[in-house]
Amino acid sequence: MPKVTIYHNPRCSKSRQTLELLRTQGVDLEIVEYLKDPPSESILRDLSKKLALAPHEMVRKKECAKLDLAENLSPQQYLKEIAKHPVLLERPIVVCGKRARIGRPPENVLEILD
């Protein structure tokens, strides 16, 4: 199985549930606490492709509202804003090889495990 990475926020219940689910599956994990170690625009672009989601679909709407971000940003502008404010990033995101899923619900991530 390719390396599995979880973009994790330990304060988020869904993120904790997804991490526990992966551990019960015996998955060898790399845990990235993205609030402490924010992903670059390049990594975010790659995540967008692996998730098959546009950058605006990767953000938490409540957090956008808190930061008063316009809803009509370009994809590149969304990537810049997520890189600058990682709290915007939907969570958790699990990556396995060339595929990724958002763990909402946590069981979503099981479909990408080889």
Residue 34 token pair = 């993205």
- Residue 64 annotated in active site: no
| pLDDT score at 92 | 98
Q: Is 5 exposed, middle or buried (0-12, 13-18, 19+ CB in 10 A)?
A: middle
Active-site residue (options: 1, 7, 12, 68) = 12
* pLDDT value for 52: 97
Report, as ranges of residue numbers, the positions in the chain whose pLDDT lies below 70: none
How high is the pLDDT of residue 9? 97
- Arithmetic mean of pLDDT over the chain: 95
pLDDT for 71: 81
Calculate the CA dihedral of residues 33, 86, 56, 68 and round it to 10 degrees: 150
For the domain bounded by 4-112, which CATH number is listed? 3.40.30.10
pLDDT confidence of residue 99: 96
Q: Residue 37: how many CB atoms within 10 A of its CB?
A: 9
Helix, strand, coil tally for the chain in percent (to 5): 45, 20, 35
Q: Residue 88: what pLDDT?
A: 96
The domain segmentation of the chain, as residue ranges, is: 4-112
Q: What local confidence, expressed as pLDDT, does residue 1 receive?
A: 73
Measured distance CA(50)–CA(104) in Å, rounded: 16
Q: Is 4 strand, coil or helix?
A: strand
